[in-house]
Structure 1
Amino acid sequence: MRKLSGLLLLCLIITAPAFPDPGIPDTVRIDSVSAYLGGTAILPVYFFNDEPLSGLELTIRHDSELITLDSFSLAGGRLSYIPSGDLISRSGAGLFDLLVPDNTGFIPVGTGLFCNLYFSVSRAAAGNTFVIDTTYWAPASRTFLIDSEGYSIDPKIVKGYITVSEPPPSNDSIWIDTLTARTGKTAAVNIYGYNSEDISKIDLALTYSSADLIFDSVSYAGTRGVLASSRTVSQNPADRQVLVSLSFSSASLPVGAGPLATLVFTVNNNAPEERVIIDSASFLGTIPLEFTTGGGLTFAPYFREGYVDIKSGTAVEERKSPVIPTKYALAQNYPNPFNPSTAIKFDLPQTSQVKLEIFNILGQKIRTLINREMTAGSYDITFDGKGDDNKQLGSGVYFYRLRAGEFEQSRSMMLLK
């Protein structure tokens, strides 16, 4: 990793054979993360290219003195194979240039991590959300991709954010995870804890603010909760409450910090996009949060709520043309064969209840891309080659079926790896 400041400019100049552009927008996506005061925010940057590239240029700006871009790393990303000794870099006046020589080979079609950016967060940044976006750097630098023939491509840009909050205090505490989950999917919410002395029992009563989050179970795998000699879970579905009790009778929970348990929820298929707060609450008249020491003393630790941000279950990119078609139609996907993603286009001459599904060669449904009402228009849906379980599908022939009103049509496609 190398020291950075202000702006980040990455220039990759690599050779590649000619390859036709199938018309699926290339994308540069900056992630959104949370960070604590005085800590480090690790911000991933991803990119997707649907054809081999001969280069790319990326310029990132952050406009606050409360966060400082300290370093940058390719480790774990699509370009991690490039030795650090092959990189040529320079910096000055708030800019950083990184050159990857053309002897490293071209960038193949794909999607994934580009790099991680490491920001230091000021202790004065509490409650702030900082926008991390691409920018124009005079006289001619901007974010664009270079195809194999030397032409520039303006990718779709997804900006990111760094949200800063106060860390849990150094004394005994419980805090709940924050995460994003999609409709119809599972949300695994971690419960974290810190104890400054040995604890013999933990009682934690929680409530969640929406019935669109459906409690399923509690898992202790990989948590400090596996040390408990007794683990009980009680529910009060009417008030959306859960009580988790951990007893450490044979040996107290030693001083330390880490996850104590994982709450497993299912997100309602028809849930709106909303933030569901998970907070402490009295469970049928009991104390909502309590630690019991090895000596039998009880006290309430510090508590910080968490949340689940519910997003639409269509984890695919969707684009709509303003032109209204005259009839229903389902086009052949492109590219075909494909790896890792492909575009599925269809036309709706009027508002319709639409279902777009993927099936394997045995006729088993493995993915629902769309299941909702859609207005008239021509749509372009990017299928990422994954099933409903978010696992990558294997090579083979698959079928996609469109149902819209009285219209129904199916086509086949091939995934090659």
Structure 2
Amino acid sequence: MRRKLKIGIFTAMLSETNGTAEAARRLIIGLGKAGHEVHVHAPSNGVAGRTGVNFHKAAGFRMSREPEFWFALPFFKYFHNRHGHFKELDVCHAITPMTMGALALDVAKLNGIPKIITHHSPLEYYAGDYFPVIGKLFSLYAWKYERLFYNRFHVIHVPTITKKNLIKQHKMKEPIFALTNGILDNYFRRVPGAKEEVREIYNIPLDRKIVLYAGRQGPEKNIEAVLRAFKVILCEKIDAHLVLAGGGPHIPVLRDYAEKIGIDHRITQTGWVKHTLLRKIYDAADVSTLYNDIEAQGLVLLEAMSQGTACVGKNSFGISDVIVDGETGFLVNNEKEFAAQLVKVLKDDELRRYLGENALQNVKKYHKMSNVIKVWEKAYRFLIDEIYPKHYSHVPEAEITRDWQDFARKEPLVKM
């Protein structure tokens, strides 16, 4: 009989609307559904009432609402004394660094527990944009801090292989394995009537093509490039509409920019939308886009692909792992290529259907959440049963890395 695990998840992001929090929620809920006992430690709750999930609130305060950002203050002695479950955990998994990640390190050290950390988003790319004074100062030292922090864990997880290459450039040490964040199993099927319903909600004519950007609208997402590409689409006399789905602090800036370049009459800002409606928007879209320099993985592209929607994105960290160029969409290296490929996809109905069908099959094969959870179960057990005893016995890191490479060779979803 499969052994039930007691898993500690430590994260400063859980209730927010961003890729890191969404990935954390999917992992936590999936592990709970699989029959494991999941103990979640976070300053805000995004998994209330889920099967197998025990939420332990850490002290903290909300630093900002746009974007929503919590700063956790897990006073360790108080926190530790109140939660005797720490010593019963089989593994500690940190989703974010700094305060909650430090708590995971302390719990693991004091109780002799294997520890793993996920690297989602480099702090350098976000701190300066959202916290102008402190953030810009911190960003100068962000990679040094991350290197010192992440290298204290037994293994590092990343969602994509390009993210592994990036953090290795900044001297983070093996073992580092890549495993997708996964797409929920309730995707992968068309929503009847979605095309008509979405166009009715947002007053878009039925025969008009929809170009979609889905996700948080922040300065780091470079959505201005999407607007410029969309202007080229309109100049090519394509009857198209741009839907920007999601909330974020950059919405007023984008609204002004769209008006400045004369395309505001063909743009809809939806604001934050529920997952049920977002699925319908993916389904109704003719093509989905991302054009920024780095993504933890680009979950919004995977979600669009899981609904059979072709994608065009920048050939950059995270995005290049998601789109198979020429098969599920197109990767581009500059804005001229970006606009040209969007025009190409919108003009060719047969190509669009081909890319969309390939995209659906690719995501179903490599990113389905129920399959991802099975791999996580194996990875946790491998760390607990085989790797941690070797760390305890001071086996050389090179040998431990080879063991993880052997593990990865047996698991099609894992890359090293």
Q: What TM-score do you get using the length of structure 1 for normalisation?
A: 0.24
- Answer with 1 or 2: which has the greater Rg: 1
Q: What TM-score do you get using the length of structure 2 for normalisation?
A: 0.24
| Larger helix fraction of residues | 2
